[in-house]
Structure 1
Amino acid sequence: MQWVLFFSDRQVREQLFARVDSTRGLLLVTGVRHGASMRPPEAREPFVSLERLHGDVVSQVLVADEGGADGMWRDPLGDLADRLHPDSRDDAYAAATGYLLLRDGRPCGVVRKQGTPFEDLWFLQEALSRLTPRIPAPDPAQRPGRRRAEPAPRSPPRPASSGPGARARPSWDDEATPPRGTRAPPPPPEPPKKDPWTVLGIAPGTPVDEARRTFRTLISQYHPDKVAHLAPEFHALAELRTREILDAWEAVERELSGS
C-alpha cells in the first residue's frame, strides 16, 4: 500500500507520524521531489516496482516536497528522524535523506539513495530481503556498479648486477618499501574550518529560536533531494553543504546552550 503526503499540507507532520505509528509490518518512508510537470510520486520508480513485486509485504509513505514557499519551512522527514534518533545526529540525517525502513513503527534500516531508480531498487530489495524471507535477495550479478577486477600493473624488475658473485636484486614488487620516487605525495592540508555563525548567516548571540529557524530553512534549501534529478556532482555538493550546515548548527547550538 502506498500513501503520498505533501510538504504544502499543514498537517503533513502529524499525518506522517500517524502513518508510522499505525502501520504494522514493514514500512518504507522517503522524501521525493515533486513538480507540476512530474509524474505522481507513486507512479515513479523504484516505488512502482516495489508495489508491484512486494506491495503485500512492505507499505510505502512518500513525502513529496513541491519546493514551494508554503512548504519551505516544513521538514517532516527531519522531524521524524529526530524523533526516531534523538541521540544521534548522524543516524537522524541518514534517516531523513535516505530510504528509511521501519517495522511496527521502529527503525530497522536505512538505504542510501544511489542516484538512479534501478540502483535504488536493487539495494532496497537487498535490505528488505534481510528483514523478511518473503522478499528474495536480488541477483548478485546485477548489483549496480559491479565491475570485473583488473589485474594490478606490475613494476618492471631492477636489472641484476653483472659479474661473478653478484647478488640478484629483488623485483620492486617483492620489496617492503618502494624505490625512491614512487611514494605517493602527502595529502593536501585540510582547509580551515569556517566560522559556524558565518555558515548559518546569523550574528553571534542570535536567539536560539531564530537560529533554529534559520538552520531549518538552510537544511531545506540544500537538501540533497532538491538536486536528485541533476548530475551526481550536484548531489555531492548538496551533501557537502548539508554536512557543513549540520556541523555549524551543532557548534552554534552547543554555544547557545552554554555546554
Structure 2
Amino acid sequence: MQFVLFFSDKQVREQLFAHVDGTRGLLLVTGVRHGPAMRSPEAREPFATLEFLHGRVLTQVLVADEGTADGMWRDPLGDLGDRLYPESRDDAYAVTSGYLLLEDGRPRKVVRKHGLPASDLWFLEDALSQLTSRVPAPDPARKPGTKRPERAPRSPRRPASTGASEASGPPPADEGWRRRAGGEGSRAPGGSRRVRPERAAASEPSRPWDDASGQDTRETHAADSEATPPRGTRAPLRMPARKDAWAVLGLARDMSLDEARKAFRALIAGYHPDKVAHLAPEFQELAERRTREILEAWEEVEGELKSGT
C-alpha cells in the first residue's frame, strides 16, 4: 500500500504522524522531489518495484516536495526526526535524508540513499529481509559495488600504417641529381638555399590568423575569442527597485519600537541556520539571502522608530 503526501498541504505534518502512529507492520517513510514534468512518486523506482513485490508486507509513505513557495518552509520529515530521536541530532537528520523503516510505529532502521534506483532497491530489500522472513534477501552477487571479475586484457592493435611513413626513406644518394633537377635542397650561387615556391608554401606552417589573401587577422580572431564584449558595448545595468523596509518586515508604521522589535525577532528566528540545516542547499542559500534582507530592513526601520521617539 502506498500513500503520497505533499509539502504544499497544510496538514502534511499531521497526516504523516497519523500514518506513523496508525500503521501496523512494516512502514517505509521517505522524501522525494516532485515536479510538473515528473511521474507521480509512487510510479517511480524503487517504490514501484517494492509495491509490486512486497506490497502485502510493506506500507509506503512518500512525502513529496514540489519546491513551491507554499510548502517551502514546511518540514514534516524534520519534525518526525525530532520526534523519534529527540536526543540525537544525527539520527534525526538521517530520517530526512534516507529511507526510514518502522515497525508498529517504532523506528527500526534508516537506509542511506545511494542515488540509483537499483542500488536503493537492493539495500532496501536487504534491510527488509532482516526485519521479516516474508521478504527474501537479495542476491549477494548483485550487491551494488561488488567487484566483478575482470576480463583478460586484449592484445593491443597494431597502429595503421600511413602513406607518409611508408613513403619516407633515406634521401637520394645522388646529390648532384637534386641540384640538376632544381629541387628542394639545391643551392643557389653564393651558398644560399634555394627552395621551389610550391615546396615553400607546403613546408611553411599555417598560421590561424592568416586569411586566404595572406592578410594578418590576429585582432579579429582575438576579438572573436573574448568571452565578454568589449567595453562600451554592454547594455547599462538596471538597478532593482528598492523594497520598502516596513513591507519586508510586515510591520505597520504606527507600531511602537517594542512591538516592532518583538515582531522582528519572531520573523528572523524562522530563518535561523539551525532551522534550515536539514534542508537542501538551495533552500539554505535562500534563507541566508532572506536573513540579510530582513536585517537590512530592520536597521532602517529601527533607525526611523528611534528618531521618532
Normalised TM-score (structure 2)? 0.52
How far does the alpha carbon of each residue in 1:158-180 deviate from its partner, in whole angstroms, 9 at most, with x for none? xxxxxxxxxxxxxxxxxxxxxxx
Instruction: Tell me the amino acid that sits aligned with residue 102 of structure 1.
Output: L
From the CA coordinates, give the structure whose radius of gyration is larger. Answer: 2
**Equivalence for 1:69:** 69
Aligned to 1:54: 54
The aligned residue for residue 142 of structure 2 is 142
Instruction: For 1:10, give the aligned amino acid.
Output: K
Q: Structure 1 residue 210: deviation in Å?
A: 3.0
| Structure 1 residue 222, shift from structure 2 partner | 1.9
Judged with a 3 Å threshold, the aligned counterparts in structure 2 of structure 1 residues 218 and 84 are, in CA distance, closer, same or farther, namely: closer
- Aligned equivalent of 1:210: 268
Q: Are residues 22 and 147 of structure 1, via their aligned partners in 2, closer, same or farther at CA, if it must alter by over 3 Å?
A: same
CA contact (8 A) 2:32 2:64 kept: yes
Corresponding residue of 1:20:
20
Q: 2:281 aligns with which of 222, 226, 235?
A: 222
Deviations 1:10-47 (A, max 9, x none): 00000000011000000000000000000000000000
Separation in 1 of the partners of 2:67 and 2:51?
26
In 2, Cα distance between equivalents of 1:141 and 1:18: 39
Q: CA deviation at 1:145?
A: 0.9
CA 126–29 in structure 1, closer or farther in 2 if over 3 Å, else same: same
Asked if the contact 1:31/1:62 (under 8 Å) is kept, the reply is yes
Within 5 Å, which residues of 2 pair with 1:2-151?
A: 2-148=2-148
Give the AA of the match of 2:126. Answer: E
Question: Which structure 2 residue ranges, 5 or more long, are not aligned?
Answer: 151-263, 289-309
Instruction: Name the structure 2 match of 1:254.
Output: none
Structure 1 stretches of 4+ moved >6 Å: none
* 1:241-256 alignment runs, 5 A limit: none
* Matched residue SS, 2:86: coil
Amino acid at match of 2:269: A
Name the SS of the counterpart of 2:4 in structure 1: strand
1:96 aligned counterpart, secondary structure: helix
Higher relative contact order (CA 8 A, sep 6+): 1
State how far apart, in whole Å, the 1-side matches of 2:93 and 2:106 are: 16
Alignment TM-score, normalising by the size of structure 1: 0.62
Give the % identical residues.
Answer: 66
